Amino acid sequence: MSRFVELPIDEYDRFAFSKFDPKTAQFTLDNARALMWMSQLAYETRQQATIDAVKEFWSFTGITPIIRHNIGIRASFDTRGLIAERQDAVILAFAGTDPAVWETLATDFNLRPLDEKDTHFGFQSAMDAAQDDILNAIELSKRTSKPLFVTGHSLGGALAGLAAHFAVEQGTSPRAVYTFGMPRTGGQKFRDSYDKGPGKVTYRLVHGLDIVPRVPPSALKFRHVGRGLQCASGAKFDQSQLSAPGSDDPEFAKVLADLAFSRIRGFLARRFLSPAGPGPLGPLFKFLPQGIRDHLPDRYWKALTP
């Protein structure tokens, strides 16, 4: 991971888990907010000091980094994440794409025809490499009788979905799965299998005109899993808008028109730049196209902050 996706310790919300409720499998904004922040922490696998500090003020008893790296002809990946334990839950969190780490981009674009697993080849390869870590999280959940939550942002959302499906195959159903800016991960057969398992407790959040949840396009026979929840750019998520399982929104075909109209509205309102962001590189975020700016983690945690 790099400075593009890491945050200084003082940028972390010290109260992110103050209202986290591990007893419920139902969607809550408080749980979504907590797990979005855990998804952000998953980007910090090379910053042990940040992990240690955040562990203390979030009251976790242990956080173990996941680092699985490979450069190969069939698949290159840099799978990062965390196995985090607190008094009342085990959380498995995956980091997403880092533009400064080409292996994560290689994973995203390792797009072959859907295989026998009916999943995205790059995502599946990156998740398969972390199976031992996922099994460790499952074993920790079983041994301590603590519910397992799975989460991730961007590419990490795709890995979270695949990990949740794998956990069910191993006989452990996650209490809930929360993803943020998750791309489509598999085809219709995978969605049918997934939604029979953790689909009802998988909550797939999409902020504004985030381009990533719109790819790979459904025209290539990819499908979303779980239940979708969308909000407008810069708005707050409203849990009353949560879809039933089976929704494939948002569509890729519609985003180009939405981006064009957004640009026109911004021009008329004399808003020519995107909002700046947190961290040392945050001031540069205002120059990003809206479809990318809406995808970054801070847009999600702000949309989940009361």
The predicted-structure confidence for 205-226, as pLDDT tens digits, reads as follows: 999 999 999 999 999 999 999 9
Question: Given pLDDT bands bounded at 50, 70 and 90, which one contains residue 229?
Answer: very high
- Whether residue 146 is contained in a domain is answered as yes
Q: How many domains does the chain have?
A: 1
The predicted-structure confidence for 246-276, as pLDDT tens digits, reads as follows: 899 998 766 655 655 555 455 434 455 788 8
Asked if residues 122 and 103 have their Cβ atoms less than 8 Å apart, the reply is no
- Whether residue 57 is contained in a domain is answered as yes
| pLDDT on residue 246 | 87
The predicted-structure confidence for 21-50, as pLDDT tens digits, reads as follows: 999 999 999 999 999 999 999 999 999 999
- Whether residue 224 is contained in a domain is answered as yes
| pLDDT on residue 263 | 52
- Note down the domain range covering 40: 9-303
149 or 256: which leads in pLDDT: 149
- Whether residue 2 is contained in a domain is answered as no
Whole-model pTM: value is 0.94
- Whether residue 210 is contained in a domain is answered as yes
CATH number at residue 251: 3.40.50.1820
- Whether residue 117 is contained in a domain is answered as yes
Q: To the nearest whole number, what is the mean pLDDT of the chain? A: 92
- Whether residue 1 is contained in a domain is answered as no
- Whether residue 3 is contained in a domain is answered as no
| pLDDT on residue 264 | 44
The predicted-structure confidence for 67-94, as pLDDT tens digits, reads as follows: 999 999 999 999 999 999 999 999 999 9
